[in-house]
Amino acid sequence: MNLGIIAGIILVLVLAVLRGAPEFFYVYVIKRKTPHSINPVSRMTRNRPAADEPPPWLTAQSCETADITSHDGLRLRAHYLASKAGSTGNAIAPYTVILAHGYTGNVLQMSGFARFFYEGLGYNILLPEARGHGDSEGTYIGMGWHDRLDYLRWIDWVKQRTGPALGGVPPRIVLYGISMGAATVLMTGGEALPPEVKAIIEDCGYTSVEDELYYQMISRYHLKSRWLMNATSRVARKRAGYSFAEASALEQVKKIKVPTLFIHGEEDAFVPFQMVYSLYEACSAPKELFAVPGAGHGGAYSVAGGEYEERIRDFLRQWVP
């Protein structure tokens, strides 16, 4: 076999790899990871902890199942638990938190946070399953971008579910998210929110999908290729309907008008800690920053414990009357 033939074969192989790499990266990162099934039995009862772990608090709660239809026709599911606190003369509290879970996660990931809001603060809690996750439909993961439009519909659901029972008292809604869920609530905050949404709390969110995925390409896979990032983004635009660059929490934060609490662990090696400063500085609304020394990705609550809860209490006491 002469050198020309060998060079031709190598070229064909290289071209095949270059053509297939963006598709592979899209499937690996954005395509749905779990099969979809709408099941009348909550997924919470089908997720069993290891033998030496206590069951998540949520599994013992009698949650109401809620479904909505997204702007693009997907059936999305959430779990709702009405507070036992209730305001005087009402069977329901005026305060509701909508909790957004992380990438490839589920509502059980939010169990500890939900318990704090429910038992510690007396809030109603709504836990959506993001598109492409759990019992919500969707063939791709929205990374917060399309999810922001879904959350506008969940906000409307809360208003309709709690408003009539409050006897004229306006609902007060707080958005809380962790990791991808943090990016989701920040992206939602940049939309035109109804006055019932009073505050946003984000924990370890990223500045944009492009920033986060490029960081992961370099840190985890040692690939420093803008070409691959841009090519994969074009695949995402075709398959999922959004590009990585447009899915920007940073740009959305610039439009936020409600008070926002930014939380991030200083030892976060998954979503770089420095991203929280970019987000915080871009926000012109009333804001607070809580950096947690020694905390990795999503670990601020575990590390800070009581201080984490107290910072949220103080923030909500100031901004959510």
According to CATH, the topology of domain 55-208+247-319 is Rossmann fold (3.40.50)
Domain ranges within the chain, ordered by starting residue: 55-208+247-319
- pLDDT (tens digit, 9 = 90+) per residue, 219-268? 988 888 898 899 999 999 999 999 999 999 999 999 999 999 999 999 99
pLDDT for 79 beyond 50: yes
Q: Which pLDDT value is given to residue 283?
A: 98
Q: How confident is the model over 82-102, as a mean pLDDT?
A: 77
CA 235, CA 279: separation in Å to the nearest integer?
A: 27
Confidence band, pLDDT 50/70/90 cuts, at residue 40: very low
CA 29, CA 16: separation in Å to the nearest integer?
A: 20
CA 79, CA 184: separation in Å to the nearest integer?
A: 18
Confidence band, pLDDT 50/70/90 cuts, at residue 18: very low
φ/ψ of residue 267, rounded to 5: -105, 20
pLDDT top residue among 223 and 293: 293
Confidence band, pLDDT 50/70/90 cuts, at residue 321: confident
pLDDT top residue among 129 and 222: 129
pTM: 0.89
Q: Which pLDDT value is given to residue 37?
A: 54
Select from 106, 109, 100 the least CA-distant residue to 145. Answer: 100
